[in-house]
Structure 1
Amino acid sequence: MTTKKLDIIFAGTPEFAAKHLEHLIANNYNVIACYTQPDRPAGRGKKLQPSAVKQVALEHNIPVCQPQSLKNEEALTELSSWNADLMIVVAYGLLLPQAALDAPKHGCINVHGSLLPKWRGAAPIQRSVLTGDTETGVTIMQMDIGLDTGDMLLVEKCDITNKDTSGSIYEKLQIIGPKALLKTVDQIAEASITPIKQDNELATYAHKLTKQEALIDWTLSAIEVERKIRGYQPWPVAYTELNGNIVKIWQAEVVSASSKPAGEIISADKSGITVATADGAIKITQLQPQGKKPMSVTDFINGRSDWVTPGNNLLVEAN
């Protein structure tokens, strides 16, 4: 608990942000207002749904603000009217102009899901898995007008194993992120924090994910293909084309080297569907046809054995 109570504005939208807000509330930090994205249509009925952060805020009687933008005078006036000591931003989804960054006494801090300056940008967790990083973490930084370029206030690391998906890393960061945030807020309150500037020469960028990039390129190595399968979970999920149908791939493993052409189906049985890559082969063990739930390879092959005939080449088929 802080030695000096700070009046905090919390800005965030998805579940990841809500976990941080819950941690602040549970530990008696003084959250005076929450900013979150406007309600969005969701579900079959396309009814407007509040964000995860809004739901938590309302449960705890915290005022909620949902401006479309923070760049207009009316929104900035409202933000300033809270006379906050600090604004915490976690996956908010709106750009903060300089006037917003300057509004709280201690400015704005952000919880970013990477070890900055590596993986600045929109999809740091996924890019870490896709490129084979062995560790990641969260960086609490003082926000400035750049894209994740602010001074680092605190860094907490965690390992990435060869079994981790982006989803499992997300869950790990949901545990260490809130703890790191509280530690940072305490240090700000006690004026005991030492900001560290980022080395811009070491910066890499985590560009936003697209559905198109999740299409498996069988001319990559087996190791790279397997990373795609883990890295694109839970969204957009790696996929390939089988017998003219789009099929998502949820689980696979790298198997021994193959002399077959990249993309060729080597074998298909209850142990898995083995496909050659440019270097090695991949054995697929869980798949999801369109309109169906993820299923084991045994269930997939039952009734679909003609989709995975050995000797067929997925590269030719996709073209």
Structure 2
Amino acid sequence: MNVIFLGATKFSLELIDFLVNNDIKIQAIYTTKENIVLPKSKTKINNVNHVDLYEYKYLKDTPIREVAEEKSLSAYKEEISNFNPDVIIAAGWYYMVPEAVRVIPKNGVWGIHASFLPKYAGWSPLVWALINGENDTGVTIFKMDNSIDGGDIVKQKKINIDFDDTIDTLYKKVTETTKSILKNLLSEESKINFTKQNQESLEVYPRRTESDGILDFNQNALQVYNFVRAQTRPYPGAFAYLDEKKLILWITKPSNKVFQDKELGEIVIENEIAYISLVESSIIVNEVEYENKTWNFNKLVMEKKLEGSLIYTSIKKMEE
């Protein structure tokens, strides 16, 4: 099959690399800058997983075009038509694909979405699934239309979410599953079938920003644990404030230990282990970032004598 690829992330690069190594012909790649502006909302997005595909020498013989708000994919429809692709694959792509482009390939434009649609359509599906404590998610390859992730399903597969999964490990599972699905689909062109989605069943989740990573110590230990692992590296991280400085929690572990006489967000030491007191529970923190330095939390607490200090979930609360 002849393929055109739309993407600009590490996920995109892994799939491109996989397809090239499996002798799938990529005729052209359309990519974006690290910072893009969504046309309708005018919202500027910083793509934390952005990859500059121009830097990869093994793609030097593949035409690469940069798509921006002022020059949308529609501007390339004649060039895309001349490539005569069998399918266009969009992964790590943030713009809608216009109908003028979607009608060009005979198998349509396939979006790759990291959920088992119709669940977790929209933005940041893996982050939301981890925050909500789901036990599974999935990968769905679907034919793009005018809806948000509501097009006909080409193929989908469920993926287990283990208790110790983070956003990083879950992305790796999704990537490997996607490779397997694509390899089968692109080698079995004649067997491609499309299954209608019930668009009324779509669960569309909103876009998340870095500020959405603020912790809530009114939650219990499991909720805080899920919140942290959903936004740990390579994402900006779940955070709060300690002595008016940002404290990012990278690695945590839920605990059933209750400190009745302690305030929410108070640092407690018991048996040389540092806890943060929560609602009817507590959290053990293993790794944090503070004062632009990565710390073992126990070492930070001991070295700076922070036992009894309060971690606040906003600057405003610190001032009250």
Bucket of the pairwise TM-score, normalised by the shorter protein: 0.7 to 0.9
- AA paired with 2:206? H
Partner of 2:15: 20
Counterpart CA distance in 2 for 1:91 and 1:72 is 15
Counterpart CA distance in 2 for 1:141 and 1:262 is 48
SS in 1 for 2:251: strand
Q: Is the 8 A contact 1:22 1:56 kept in 2?
A: no
Q: Is the 8 A contact 1:57 1:64 kept in 2?
A: no
SS in 2 for 1:23: helix
Q: Deviations over 1:229-267 (max 9, x none)?
A: 101112120111112221111111111242346514251
SS in 2 for 1:132: coil
Q: Deviations over 1:101-157 (max 9, x none)?
A: 112122111111111111111201111111001011211111112111111111122
1:35 is aligned, of 30, 38, 48, to 30
Counterpart CA distance in 2 for 1:248 and 1:38 is 27
Partner of 1:244: 244
The answer to whether 1:310 aligns with 2:308 is yes
Partner of 2:40: none
TM-score, with structure 2 as normaliser: 0.85
Q: Deviations over 1:171-211 (max 9, x none)?
A: 11121111111212233x12x12222223343222322212
**RMSD (CA atoms):** 2.5
Change in CA separation of 1:260 and 1:165 when aligned onto 2, cut-off 3 Å: farther
Q: Is the 8 A contact 2:268 2:275 kept in 1?
A: yes
Please state how far the C-alpha of 1:273 moved relative to its aligned partner. Answer: 2.5
Q: Which runs of 5+ in 2 are unaligned?
A: 37-49
- AA paired with 1:238? A
Q: Which runs of 5+ in 1 are unaligned?
A: 1-5, 42-49
The answer to whether 1:10 aligns with 2:2 is no
Counterpart CA distance in 1 for 2:272 and 2:122 is 39
Partner of 2:80: 79
Partner of 1:47: none
- AA paired with 1:300? L
Partner of 2:117: 116
Partner of 1:193: 192
Change in CA separation of 1:40 and 1:274 when aligned onto 2, cut-off 3 Å: closer
SS in 2 for 1:301: helix
- How do 1:237-316 residues align onto structure 2 when only pairs under 5 Å count? 237-258=237-258, 259-260=260-261, 263-265=264-266, 267-268=268-269, 271-292=272-293, 294-305=294-305, 308-310=306-308, 312=310, 314=312, 316=317
Counterpart CA distance in 2 for 1:179 and 1:52 is 25
Identity among equivalent pairs (%)? 20
Say how many residue pairs are matched: 301
- How do 1:49-128 residues align onto structure 2 when only pairs under 5 Å count? 51-56=51-56, 58-59=58-59, 61-69=61-69, 71=72, 74-128=75-129
Please state how far the C-alpha of 1:279 moved relative to its aligned partner. Answer: 3.2
Change in CA separation of 1:76 and 1:301 when aligned onto 2, cut-off 3 Å: same
Q: Deviations over 1:41-90 (max 9, x none)?
A: 9xxxxxxxx93444447535211122325647532222222221211111
SS in 2 for 1:65: strand
Change in CA separation of 1:217 and 1:244 when aligned onto 2, cut-off 3 Å: same
- AA paired with 1:59? L
Please state how far the C-alpha of 1:289 moved relative to its aligned partner. Answer: 0.2
Q: Is the 8 A contact 2:240 2:311 kept in 1?
A: no
Please state how far the C-alpha of 1:38 moved relative to its aligned partner. Answer: 4.1
Change in CA separation of 1:261 and 1:303 when aligned onto 2, cut-off 3 Å: closer
